[in-house]
Structure 1
Amino acid sequence: MMLDFKFFLSLFLRRLHYFLVVALAVSAFGVTVAYTLPAGYEAKAKLLVESPQIPGDLASSTVRTGVAELLEIIAQRILARANLLDVARKFDLYEDDRKISADQIVADMRKRIKMTLPGRRDAASFVLVSYLAKTGETSAKVTNELVTLILQENRTLRTAVTGQTLDFFKNEVKNLDEELAEQGQKILAFKSQNQGALPDSLDYRRNRQASLQERVLQMERELASLRDRRTRLVDLYQRTGEVVVTGESLSPEELRLQELSNQLASALVLYSETNPRVKALKAQVDAAEQQVAALRSGAGGEAMTAYEVQLADLDGQMEFLLQEKKTVEEELKALEESIDRTPANAITLGSLERDYDNIRLQYNQAQADFAAARTGDQIEAQSRGQRITVIEQAVVPLQPTSPNRKKIASAGVAAGIMAGLAVVVLIELLNNSVRRSVDLTNRLGIAPFVAVPYIRTRRQANLRRFIIFMALVVVGLGIPITLFLLHTYYLPMDLLIEKALNKTGIADLVKQFRQSFGN
């Protein structure tokens, strides 16, 4: 085992120049990159997402977006192309490089801006904002500008949401009010067109129908009675030639005449014709007869007998009853038609009123929502809801925060050592020559008596040492000088590395790895 270790150590020492060249090259590259990368200053600001100042059970804001979602929306708006270009123009961030395109400016600023959003819901929601710049003043200015934009975006977003909600419910209340008025006009027009056939007056019309039907029956009985009296009057007159005059069928003048005649007959029984009372009664009877005759002659041109007077009176009563019956039957017919139309009208009116009630319920709900939206708008207008406040403004950093030169240099040296060892191991793995007597025994199956190593001359040894020394000098000095010249006169080291990664496609792999690691 000890012999093997010595053998491998001898192999390493034999290939030491390869190890030194590769290790020195990689280490020189790493150290040079570490100390040529431009210094970056990163000023940080801390924000706090405060809970609503007014309890939600008393009055709540109409902005129901969660903290994480709201901050993500604000971050995406801040990182929008137009905002980043405005910030770059405002602070002249890229005035030294006039050839840089707008896309490159946006991409570079998005890499420099960091917004750390809260990860836990049960903890206080703190937001860290920073910007990586070449100078501390620029980093602080841009970071504070980003904080201002975040506060503005938060206020704009919340007030816009509440304003849109308020306008929506305001228009909804207006539209429902118009629909309610229109539906009310429909109900009013329907009731006007069907005024006598509405369900609310159905009981009255049915009672009226029953009353009129009873009235028709009563009139038919009265007509039958009058027709019977007329028939008996005609039969009596045809059999006897006269009729019994009753006071009910005589006029006041005729009644007066009949009364005076009765008084004269009574007086003649007691007194003589020359008695002054009898003479006075005769004079009154004559005057009454003349008056009745004058009335009869004025009414018909000729004096009407008692028979004719009674017939005319009965015919007049029957005609009056017939006219009244016709009127009542017409009203009954109208009532019957309205009662028949009432069920259909009740259905239509019920549908109209149901639609009216539904619209009214929607209107009442919209009114309540409008009041809540107005309260929520006032809450956001007075900044009483959930808000973002600044805990720490960004201050100018005194020391650069990046890059970590010691860490990069150490990583470069370690990578050089590993690369050198890997090259030595690879060379030895690819070398199949016989270097020990045991190799002859293992491969050829023979046992040599003695093994003579390859011996270099002094000249060959010196030449080999000179070549190794010059290679180390070229690698140790040439690589740093070349990188420094490229960084100074061609392209800054960070941009040069980024350009090389983009051309080789390694940048996409790194980006995918970061996304996968972040998810």
Structure 2
Amino acid sequence: MDEEQNGKTISEYLEILVRRKNLLLISFLTIGFLGFVLAMKLPPVYRSSATILIEDQQIPRSMVETTITDFADKRIELIRQRVMTRDRILSIIQKHKVYLDERDKLVPSEIVTRFQEDAEIKMISADVLDPNRGGGKATIAFNISFSDSNPVLAQAVANELVSLFLDENTRVRAQRAAKTTDFLSAEAEKLKTEMGSFETQIMDYKAKHGYSLPEMLQNNLSSLDRATESLRQTDSDIRIAKDRIVYLTDSLRQAEDDVPASETGKPLNKDEQLRLLKSEFIHLSSLYTATHPDVLRVKRQIQNLEPTFDGQANEVDARKELTDAENILIELKKKYSETHPDVLKQEKRVSNLTDKLANAANKTAELAEDAHQGNTLYSSIANQLTTTEHELAQLITTREQLQKNKLELQSYIDETPLVEKEYQDLLRMRQTSLNKYAELEAKYREAKLAQTLEEEQKGETFTLIEPPIAPDKPEKPNRKKIIAMGFGLGIGVGLGLTLLLEFMHETIRGAKALERVTGMPPIVAIPYIQTPQDKLNQKKRQKLIWIISLVVFIALIVVTHFAVMPLEQIWATLLLKLGKL
């Protein structure tokens, strides 16, 4: 073999290993045995697992759409957070008597943490092609497992976790579907109340602006045309009535001046004079005021013949004063309400003037009747005049009412554009609420179907396809691996100690080592000559090593039997393993 220029050769390393073979053997056996003891001493950990399949809803989504739209892994994580709470974990530990040996050593928070570490939830994903959500990775199932030194206890706890997950999933889905239904129902009730409010507003608006609504525009225009035509006809009738009054008044004056043929050329008695004077007084009162000299002259003449005459027969002045008072009352009502003091005062005044006019009319009629008794033509014309005056008064009242109606109709027509805008806004808001309500009603019916779907467990469900069982083989520790690692570590520690001792004791061994130190090769190399005493000492050392090895081996067997596992159990396990081979 080639030698190394500045280091030891492979043969020298092999020589070191041969020289330190006892150290290597002791290290290999000791650490290997410790690894074996550790592998046998570690308690077995059994893991019981269950597989839960996530099945899609039984009813096609095109017919009934579920209200649970989140992904399965997110929902599983939420359920895990609900299930793995402190109170539930402590309840499971108390129910199944888990960690009995550690309860006195650990506080409850540490026990909860230990349980969370022993319980494991693992998702199972696959590449899927969903027509609704597209392709990609999707969680199709998940595993729930629990680890414990007792396989039966591990199975019981795993069963408990599976039951909690299945029940919680059913409860949560039904609860979320019910909350969705309740929310939509509450919103629909709010919209129904809002629609009722809009209906009330529309009714109030119609009651307030009923004649100015858009649908009343054509009717108002037609009524305005009729009112205008009626007003024109009334004005024509008033002109005719006034002309007739003028004609009858002239005729009445002519009849008043006529004297009966039987009394022509004869002197008048007192009564006839009184009638003529009263007739003249009425005529003058209709032409002049009460202070006119002619009126006063005739009044004095009448009082000379009839001292009780009071001069209250002026119906014209009373009518004029009443007309003025009524006009003032109309103006006040336009400015103030019906209960205003000025309005009430003027109404009382109009009432008094009406009584005064009635008295004046009665007086005038009595005077005219007394003055013109026996004059048939005069009485006929007077009756026609009175009738025509009444007709004129009625026509004037009718014209005023028509003018008032015309103004009201015109105001309704003028208000129609503004009223139409506000009215259409109310109708639009009501229609918007109706559309929202119809949409919410449709969503509510869909949510109610989805709720029924979840309550009857026809939606997406968790199905237990592989229940947890009591495992017959521990998951850990891997005893073979630990034992192999122990013996491998023993070899490594032995090699390390050997190299450490060689570097610490730099003894020159062999001609090559001497040549590396001096730089010159030796002239001759004399091998080590072993004496009989050296051979005897070597045999003694070998014997001592074997004795020590035997003692150590027996001690290891005893320790294994009493501290790790009985020898008969080890032998039975070994035979079982060999039988399987």
TM-score (norm 2): 0.64
Q: Which residue matches 2:93?
A: 88
The aligned residue for residue 459 of structure 2 is: 385
**Equivalent in the alignment of 1:111:** 117
Query: Deviation of residue 337 (structure 1)?
Result: 2.7
The answer to whether the aligner puts 1:97 opposite 2:98 as a matched pair is: no
**CA distances 1:302-330 after superposition (whole Å, capped 9, x unpaired):** 56434434433433332222101111111
Q: C-alpha separation between the residues in 1 aligned to 2:399 and 2:201?
A: 38
| Aligned match for 1:145, one of 154, 160, 166 | 160
Q: For 2:448, which of 345, 355, 374 is the aligned residue?
A: 374
- Provide Cα deviations, 1:173-226, integer angstroms capped at 9, x if missing partner: 222222222222222222223233322212212221222122222222332333
Moved more, 182-191 or 438-447: 438-447
What residue in structure 1 maps to residue 439 of structure 2?
A: 365
Q: Which residue in 2 is equivalent to 1:404?
A: 478
- Given the superposition, is the C-alpha separation of residues 81 and 44 from structure 1 closer, same or farther in structure 2, using an over 3 Å criterion? same
Partner of 1:512: none
Please name the residue that 1:329 is paired with: 403
CA-CA distance at 1:88 after TM superposition = 0.7
Aligned AA for 1:370? Y
Could you tell me how far apart the structure 2 residues matched to 1:234 and 1:451 are? 185
Matches within 5 A, 1:161-180: 161-180=176-195
CA contact (8 A) 1:40 1:402 kept: yes
Single out whichever of 219-228 and 322-331 deviates more from structure 2: 219-228
Cα displacement (A) at 1:386: 1.1
Partner secondary structure for residue 474 of structure 2? coil
Kindly tell me: are residues 467 and 229 of structure 1, through their superposed partners in 2, closer, same or farther at Cα, counting changes over 3 Å?
A: farther
- Choose 7-16 or 378-387, whichever is displaced more: 7-16
For 2:235, the equivalent position in structure 1 comes to 220
* 1:163/1:377 contact within 8 Å kept: yes
Contact 1:25 1:479 in 2 (8 A): no
SS at match of 1:119: strand
The 10-residue stretch of structure 1 (126-135 or 415-424) with the greater mean CA deviation from structure 2: 415-424
Out of 443-452 and 152-161, give the one that drifted further: 443-452
CA distance in 1, matches of 2:544, 2:221: 131
User: Once the 2 structures are TM-superposed, how far is the Cα of residue 230 of structure 1 from its aligned partner?
Assistant: 3.8
Equivalent pairs, count: 436
State how far apart, in whole Å, the 1-side matches of 2:81 and 2:35 are: 36
Report if the CA contact (8 A) 1:29-1:479 is conserved.
no
Unaligned runs of 5+ in 1: 244-296, 489-519
The 8 Å contact of residues 251 and 381 in structure 2, kept in 1 or not, is answered as no
Equivalent residue number for residue 281 of structure 2: none
Q: Give the corresponding residue for 2:201.
A: 186
Distance 1:476 1:34 in 2: 18
Distance in 1 (alpha carbons) for counterparts of 2:561 and 2:205? 95
Match of 2:18 in 1: 13
Cα distance in structure 2, aligned partners of 1:474 and 1:344: 118
Give the Cα separation in 1 of the matches to 2:543 and 2:227.
142
1:416-444 residue CA offsets vs partner (Å, 9 max, x unmatched): 33444455556667887776766676677
Partner Cα separation in structure 1 for residue 247 and residue 504 of structure 2: 157
One-letter amino acid matched to 1:10: E
Q: Aligned partner of 2:466: which letter?
A: E
Residues in 2 aligned to 1:317 and 1:167: alpha-carbon distance in whole angstroms:
74
Deviations 1:51-84 (A, max 9, x none): 2111111113222232222222223333222222
Question: Do the aligned partners of 1:29 and 1:480 also contact (CA within 8 Å) in 2?
Answer: no
Report the Cα offset of residue 482 of structure 1: 9.2
Q: Report SS of the residue matched to 2:124.
A: coil
- Contact 1:116 / 1:128 at 8 angstroms: preserved in 2? yes
Query: C-alpha displacement at 1:37, in angstroms?
Result: 0.9
* 2:103 matches 1:29: no
1:7 Cα deviation after fit: 1.6
Distance 1:50 1:463, change over 3 A: same
Q: Deviations over 1:214-268 (max 9, x none)?
A: 222222233233334444555677789899xxxxxxxxxxxxxxxxxxxxxxxxx
Is 2:40–2:564's contact at 8 Å kept on the other side of the alignment?
A: no
1:453-468 matches, within 5 Å, as: none
Distance 1:371 1:419, change over 3 A: farther
Q: Tell me if the contact between 1:34 and 1:403 (Cα under 8 Å) persists in the aligned partners.
A: yes
Corresponding residue SS for 2:125: coil
Q: Structure 2 CA distance, aligned partners of 1:321 and 1:94? A: 113
- Is 346-355 or 371-380 further displaced after alignment? 346-355
Displacement of 1:98 after TM fit? 3.3
Aligned partners of 1:324, 1:359: CA distance in 2, in Å?
48
Q: Percent identity?
A: 24
Secondary structure of the 1:116 match is strand
Give the SS at the match of 1:120. strand
- What code does the residue aligned with 1:308 have? A
Q: Do 2:36 and 2:483's aligned partners in 1 also have CA atoms closer than 8 Å?
A: yes
Segment of structure 1 superposing worse, 185-194 or 467-476? 467-476
| 1:138-166 C-alpha deviation (Å, 9 max, x unpaired) | 12211211211111111111111112112
Higher relative contact order (CA 8 A, sep 6+): 1
TM-score (norm. length: structure 1): 0.71
- Which residue number in structure 1 is paired with residue 220 of structure 2? 205
Give the whole-Å Cα distance in 1 for the aligned partners of 2:547 and 2:197. Answer: 101
Equivalences for residues 242-253 of structure 1 within 5 A: none
Q: State the secondary structure of the residue aligned to 1:132.
A: strand
Q: Where does residue 299 of structure 2 map in the other structure? A: none
Q: CA–CA distance in 2 between the matches of 1:115 and 1:39?
A: 21
Offset, 1:40: 2.1
- Per-residue deviation, 1:371: 1.2
1:315 aligns with 2:389: yes
Indicate conservation of the 8 Å contact 1:202/1:339, yes or no: yes
Superposed, 1:491-510 pairs within 5 Å as none
SS at match of 2:211: helix
Aligned residue for 1:278? Answer: none
1:236–1:242 CA contact under 8 A, matched in 2: no
